[in-house]
Amino acid sequence: MQIKISMYFAPYPLKHQGTMRTLLNTLSLIAVTSSAAFAQTEVKKTLAVLDFDVRNYAVDAQQLIDKATIELIQINKFEIIDKYDIEYISKRDKVDLKGCYSKICLEDIGKRLKCDYLLTGSYDLLGDRVAVTVRLYDVAKGSFTESASRVYLNIPQQNLTMMEVAIKDLLAVPNDENLIKKLTISEEYESALNNPETSVINNNGPRLGITAVVGPSASILMAAPSGGGFGYSIPALTSFGYQFEQVFVNSGDFQALFEFIPLIAGLEYGRVIPSANVLMGMRNSRTGWEFAIGPNFTTTVTGEGYLDGNNFILKGSAGYNPLGKEVITRLDSRGDLAVSTGLVFGFGKTFKSGKMNFPVNLFVITPGRGDSWRIGTSVGFNIVRKKTPSFAPATLKPRPLEPSGSGASVNRITIQ
């Protein structure tokens, strides 16, 4: 709506021209303000949500209608016809709106409702998939002007989510690509939507632990260095490291894991003892319990010799005479650096608090070169980071959609 202001001004003396300029500026401001006010009150097109064809798919059509209505109200592009008005027209004119999918029927209903657009669509079962289509019918033109369609996994409990995606596809409102993947790729759904209340656990993060040595090596660690001991106060060492984790199978409640955990121990005793664990394991995403097994590699100091009473006579030392003695290799601070291997068995549980994960693990390492059994525990933490959907506001001129990054594309057709 435009306002035209036509006025005739008689020639004014020069001394009154400043007053005239002020008057013109005021009138211009009034005209601009009026135009803005009328623009803000521009009437939206009206839209009514009708029935969805679900004859080939077991789903509650009324729930789909309600979900579509909610999404359209949130997008706020159309003035949505109230469902009670639709029910009133149906009763007043004694017409059944259920099963109205054809152009002839839609044209008749559109005129009765006096609306600009009608929304309808279908859910069609295609093998183990379901095709969801939504269409926008222009009452004035008597034809469908917009349509969108995707093929999803057959997940009955996600039917309403599919409708949410379909409405946004139709009106060119960006969808969350992670959500699309979960609805269209079976592995993604199994790992995330099968248990919507359970987040997939990823325990990449720092580790702090303590390892105790049991058996003959325990006494060696606490013995004096002059006799080949290490002078530890207790037969245990703290360790610091980081867990690198990769989930290579993720289905339902379970994850198959590959873990690499490098550690450094012995700092409290003035030593730097590097080690590494390479593990394969399984984790239950719902409960947080896990189990893993794999090789352990640890640097150690060992010496070859024999026992003479409580003394260990190191090879090459004064008085070394192994005749009649059993030559063994054991821990000895006077010996040489070596790499010890063992098999580590670990099990534990991940505790959750908000976005924090706190994995707690117990482990046992079999004896390696010159070692005894080692048992220990480790704890860690990390923050669960989730991608946030980037929903852009809907505009009056829909933008063309890009194909989905997951490979599950949307077919959207605009008929001018």
CATH number, domain of 243, equals 2.40.160
| Cα–Cα distance for residue pair 86/65, rounded to 1 Å | 12
Domain co-membership, 261 together with 156: no
Domain co-membership, 268 together with 360: yes
Q: Where are the beta strands (DSSP E) in 158-310?
A: 205-214, 236-251, 254-265, 273-284, 289-308
Domain co-membership, 250 together with 397: no
Domain co-membership, 371 together with 398: no
- Please return the burial class of 159, using the count of CB atoms within 10 Å of its CB with bins 0-12, 13-18 and 19+: buried
Whether residue 37 lies inside any domain: the answer is no
Contact 44, 78 (CB under 8 A): yes
Domain co-membership, 177 together with 263: no
Whether residue 25 lies inside any domain: the answer is no
Contact 299, 342 (CB under 8 A): no
Domain that holds residue 107: 46-194+391-414
Domain co-membership, 228 together with 272: yes
**How many domains is the chain built from?**
2
Whether residue 78 lies inside any domain: the answer is yes
Give the number of C-alpha atoms closer than 13 A to the C-alpha of residue 159, restricted to the C-beta side: 20
The Cα-based distances of 161 to 56, 121, 157, 164 in angstroms read: 19, 15, 9, 5
CATH number, domain of 164, equals 3.40.50.10610
CA-wise closest residue to 132 among 100, 106, 156, 104? 156
Whether residue 136 lies inside any domain: the answer is yes
Ordered per-residue pLDDT tens for the chain, 416 residues: 444 444 444 444 444 455 556 555 655 555 545 444 444 456 889 999 999 999 888 899 999 999 999 999 999 999 999 989 999 999 999 988 888 999 999 999 999 999 999 999 999 999 889 999 999 999 999 999 999 999 999 988 899 999 999 999 999 999 988 888 888 887 566 555 444 444 556 788 999 999 999 888 898 899 998 888 899 999 999 999 999 998 887 776 788 899 999 999 999 998 999 999 999 999 987 788 999 999 999 998 988 999 888 888 888 888 888 888 889 888 888 989 989 899 999 999 999 887 788 999 999 999 876 578 999 999 998 876 544 333 333 333 333 434 334 445 566 555 44
pLDDT for 5 equals: 44
Domain co-membership, 365 together with 403: no
Question: Among all chains, which residue has been given the structure tokens 């002839």?
Answer: 104
Whether residue 366 lies inside any domain: the answer is yes
Region class of 221: left (phi > 0), else alpha (psi between -120 and 50), else beta: alpha
pLDDT for 96 equals: 85
